[in-house]
A and B are shown apart, each in its own frame.
Chain A
Amino acid sequence: MTATHDSISEYRALIGRWARALSTGDHGIVAPFVTDEAALARLKMFTDGNFEKRFMKIRDQVEDLLEVFDELETSIEDYIRSRPLAAYDTGPGDSATFLDCLVETSSPSAEQVDYITCQKCRTELDGLAERNRAGHGRFQELRSQNDALLTELDSNPQIWIHLNPIRAAATFQTRVLLDDEADLPAEVLFYPVGNEIRTAVLEREALAVVRSLWRSSPLHLAELTDGISDVDRDEIREVVGDFVEIGLASLG
């Protein structure tokens, strides 16, 4: 096709102005270009409807925070009014940006920070899986062999131990999301099993195993035990079995 470039550049300027206005609910800028008086009220319906949809999407994604932030809905509204939705953002990115704003503007308590951290780790997993679709798929497929390979783990030195490639770590400073007896600060791992996000609180021995696998995965059991000096082999073997069971590691 042959495009009329001059007219497209004029169109670009017009659409640019309109889109910016409509994205922030400022329908007045578009008003002179609509066909009739009744359209003004309908323009407002359009921008109000868009505002509501964006509000509900963010609210749904951060709903756990409603328990610990009294004015969360007002904060979401303020955020939407001040920050247009970025091009191609379909939701999780918008919620993550909102959480950043919340931290900047609300001086959150330690409990509130733990809630925000938890939410941001979930978003991070989505981002990791987006960038490493193949890795996520391969790891989840590997899990189907775990039952058989786990029985051979001690006798077959060729078995690899893979750490779930989609993972995020966080340190919780409070027990607001933990068991009452949890040691603080608590190291928490987030990872998917299938399309479901799971979490695990790691104690000393498990942390040592995770750190080794995090640095270099996959490893054979012998390599793993050689690299951890302060945990004995049996304990490491048991931790690996637990990791496999909860979907944090897989055998291959």
Chain B
Amino acid sequence: MLPMLSVLPLLVRHGVAEPLIPSEDPRGSAFHFSIIRSDDMPPAIGYAIREQNRLVLDDPAINAAEFTFERADDPLRVERYIRDQDFDLVSVHALKLSVAGAEPPAMFYIDKLRAIALENGAESVSDHLGFTRDGVDGMEIGHFAPPPFVQAALDATCRNIDQVQAHLADLKFFVENIAYLFRLNSSMTEAEFLRKMLARTGCGWLLDVTNVYANALNFGFDGHEFIAEVMPSAARVQIHLAGGVWDEKSEMYIDSHSHPIPDAVWDLYRYALELGQGKVEAVFVERDQNFPDENDWREEIRTVRNIAEKVEVPA
């Protein structure tokens, strides 16, 4: 009878059918946990998951994972994005909350974020300090733009974060400092804006060390001072590390997630860990281009852990 059912190979979207989540597996449902950590514990450490680094996620140096919501939100998925792996800490990274937008984010988007977080046993959600659209029914810019660091933007941002945190309930929310190509006229510094935002909302700081490095280099300020100014206002911290590239044409350091982490970023990372001792909950390395080989993936994440362990548990 099969001749009446000819499958058309041209039309088949390539992909691998994955095993189903056993229904008795609690991680496949709304399973949620929190890490209990003491001040002298090093942060949980891992990669922002990409298909290219899945092969090293079982490395002993890795006990955390971050994944991007937009990657995980495949409506045809039949298993968790993090699959059957166990991590001490999982975080969901979002791109479209438009935290610094003039309108609060849409509830349906927060609901979807929360559902994906619970499905994957995540304890936190993060997004960027930027605006990506003009409103819930409006249009997308395509990437987050930096807000003007003015009182009205601060008010709107804090209102948005309050709403996100209220809706995420028991999931912690972190806001990331972004790397920007341009700055808008402002009445306060970025560090002052961040300090006030963290103090008013109580949200966590996703300190992207490479973004601090890039902005400091491109706009002529001291990255160490920036971190030192903001860190005291953060109740909890996650850290991003990545490597970018110097663009000769624009004479800017571009946070392209395409190269090894530069020495200056390692130094800033160590400094951030020292200042944030006891409140840095997780460190994630991001890579999106020019992927390293397996050994380099492993070596990089072990370096992240070695530095953290030396800072958090001094000899």
Contact = CB atoms under 8 A, between A and B. Distances in A.
B155 A203 contact: no
A166 interface: yes
Interface residues of A, number: 82
A23 B101 CA distance: 14
**A interface secondary structure, majority:** helix
A202 B145 contact: no
A246 B7 contact: yes
Q: How large is the interface on B (under 10, 10 to 19, 20 to 34, 35 or more residues)?
A: 35 or more
A201 B6 contact: yes
B106 to A, nearest CB: 6
Contacts of B23: 141
A85 B140 contact: yes
A35 B8 contact: no
B218 to A, nearest CB: 9
Given A199-B11, A200-B7, A239-B1, A126 B75 contact: yes
Interface in B262-297: none
A11 B1 contact: no
A69 B5 CA distance: 29
* Most chain B beta carbons < 10 A, residue from A7, A84, A87, A193: A87
A7 B250 contact: no
Given A200-B5, A246-B7, A87 B75 contact: no
B102 A4 contact: no
A199 B143 contact: no
B77 interface: yes
Contact of B185 (A15, A33, A128, A188): A33
Contacts of B6: 178-179, 182, 200-201
B200 interface: yes
Contacts of A39: 181-183
A49 B15 CA distance: 28
Interface stretch (A70-78, A132-140, A221-229): A132-140
Interface string B1-43: 1111111101111111110100100000000000000000000
Contact of A50 (B101, B102, B141, B201): B141
Interface of A: 1, 3-4, 7-8, 10-12, 14-16, 18-20, 22-23, 30, 33-35, 39, 41-43, 45-46, 49-51, 53-54, 64, 84-90, 118, 122, 125-130, 133, 136-137, 140-141, 144, 166, 177-179, 182, 188, 190, 192-206, 235, 238-239, 241-243, 246
Given A11-B155, A46-B143, A201-B5, 11 more contacts: A4-B151, A8-B155, A16-B102, A16-B135, A19-B139, A23-B139, A43-B181, A88-B109, A178-B6, A193-B17, A195-B76
